Chain A
Amino acid sequence: MAVWSLLAVNSLSLGGLLFLLSAGFSLIFGLMRIPNLMHGSFFMLGAYLGASLLQRGYNFWFAALAASAAMVVIGGLVERLLLRRLAGQELAQVLLTLGLSFVIADLCLMIWTGDPIQPATPAQLGGGVRTLGMFFPIYRLAIIGIAVAIALGLWVLIDWTRLGAMIRAGVDDAPMARVMGIQVSRLFTAVFCIGAALAAFAGVMGSPFLSVYPGLDADMLPLALIVVILGGAGSLLGALVGSFIIGLLYNFGQAMFPDLAYVILFLPMVLVLILRPQGLLGRVQT
């Protein structure tokens, strides 16, 4: 019994982390129509930057925000200087992000070496709650809270602000948005930066228990892909639901069917792509 509730809590906290990673991915996919194959690299690079700041004794939250800020700059540069050149050629854009992910992976290996880094859990959130004969680490519970808070923040941004209205218009029908005078290209940059920053933030949040290592990008990218395909590109609620589904499948799959853990993880993605290409909560695109 204790096993299952522990796994359930862990599923929720992994789900929260996945939401931070894939919310931006979903918006990029929805708006620009490309799966950004360097999203895992943003996560990893953010985690490494955060780990470096933590090693220099900076506060955990400062490190998370600084890493996110750095990724805003890097994401913006990638979008402005490279992706922009290939506007309209979606496949070339996807492949470009793939090539860049090679470059970032090697860059991280060069700067941080191949030796994994595991930053300490922030002191305020150390320890655990002992209840019902179980023991839950506070930090994992905190991640769930932070993910929900950021989900609310994003919801306000998308549904209640002018920028959000433009993004929604762009996701629904980019040519129409352009006709209505929305500068879609600037939106692309904004969304790409937001996505990169969220991924980096997730990277720092995840580092105390995932640790930061070469290959973290390749581990996280497929998870983000599944979440967004399941939930539906461009849908925040979809990303949230998808994240928690994948969190559960991942944890219970590893524990109950270790042999087929990855089949359990990827099969839903294949099924959704075939049976409901717009995703569980995605809108049918015109």
Chain B
Amino acid sequence: MTSNPGRTGFVLLLLAILATLPLWMTSLYYVNIASQILFWAVFALGLNVLVGYGGLVSLGHAGLFGFSGYVAALLMVNGYSHAAALPAAIIGTLLMTAVFAALALRSTGISFLMITLALGQILWGIAYRWADVTRGDNGVNVAGRPSPFGIDLTEPRAFYVAVFITFILCLLSMLALVRSPYGASLRGTRDQPRRMRALGFNVWMIRFIAFLFSGFWTAVAGILFIYYNQFISPQVMALQTSAEALLMVISGGTATLAGPVVGAAIVVIMKNVVSAYVERWNMVLGIIFVLIISFMPEGLVPGTARLWRSMMGRRRAAKMPLGLKVAGEGSR
């Protein structure tokens, strides 16, 4: 996080464009696409806390994402107000996240990935088969969007603004996290867990808090998702969704703020816009993923920045051999 006036200006300009999008974007269809990009970005940023800064790769976050959506949707269907359903969904998801963390944080690396995968599959299995509670494959319809301060979010532009504000809050919280001493210690547990432990840090607790922080934004994204779609069904919690979210984080660039946002934009645009012109968009997505892992393992944002710097002649010697830093073993 070096401060660079040129880059700060560029980022502010981008944010200004996003903030004013409802004013200049005439097609409601594209306003909706922009909303989708932003709430997926919130999901990806939340996942990035674990994957990027914590070095803990989770393949079960779709379970938490869908859990939040289901809690909110089922409460609303059963007559609870938005004001009751939303906090319940977030608190419920935080509790579920704590369970995930308690079970998964006993290990790191590939075992962590496998435990989160299995936990995600359990939640998916409940949504899919426990039809008495979750309505199974039929899914749950969400009757409407809330009207905070009297602004009806049914209108796509109003909804976009709500998502944008949430997105900015999420971004700011990430910025605060990264710059805080806690953020530094989280990165420490990723790179040097043994040393951190020797220095007296409670590595487990640091990771646990990161998991909760990640779970919080995952829950928020899940709520935005059901308000956007006004519908949720078990497919949302499938392994495919976890994989897509991970793809967003990794393709954009782990442990960066811009990376997950760029990754979310790529995936959503591929899915919705490019699919109209390219039949095999899913394959293109897979190939992009494979290429990034093989040739630009640090992700598109840091990778492009590196290329840019080397083109501008300010070549730096430091080239990361592996973008994906993983929390070390032997951390039990």
Contacts and interface: CB of A to CB of B under 8 A. Distances in A.
A95 B294 contact: no
Interface residues of B, number: 45
Interface string B232-250: 0000001110010011001
Contacts of A260: 125-126, 129-130
Interface in A75-116: 82, 85-86, 89-92, 94-96, 98-103, 105-107, 109-110
Interface stretch (A139-147, A157-165, A205-213, A264-272): A264-272
B289 A259 contact: no
B106 interface: yes
Contact of A266 (B121, B247, B250, B326): B121
Given A95-B250, A106-B282, A259 B129 contact: yes
B130 A270 contact: no
A134 interface: no
B282 A259 contact: no
Contact of A95 (B111, B240, B246, B285): B246
Contacts, number: 127
Nearest to A257: B129
Interface string B292-320: 01100100000000000000000000000
B172 interface: no
Contact of B125 (A225, A261, A270): A261
Interface string B109-136: 1110111011101101110111110000
A33 interface: yes
B293 A35 contact: no
A103 B103 CA distance: 32
Nearest to B136: A259
B87 interface: no
Contact of B129 (A95, A107, A261, A269): A261
Contacts of A109: 282
Chain A: interface residue count, which band?
Answer: 35 or more
A77 B219 CA distance: 41
Interface in A127-165: none
Nearest to B126: A263
Nearest to B294: A85
Contacts of B122: 262-263, 266-267, 270
27 contacts: A34-B110, A35-B110, A35-B113, A82-B290, A82-B294, A86-B294, A94-B113, A95-B289, A96-B290, A99-B293, A100-B286, A103-B283, A103-B286, A103-B287, A103-B290, A218-B238, A218-B239, A229-B114, A260-B126, A262-B124, A263-B122, A266-B118, A266-B121, A269-B118, A270-B122, A273-B111, A274-B106
- 10 cross-chain pairs, A with B, having the tightest CB-CB distances, nearest first: A262-B125, A102-B286, A99-B289, A103-B286, A106-B283, A106-B282, A99-B290, A259-B130, A269-B118, A266-B122
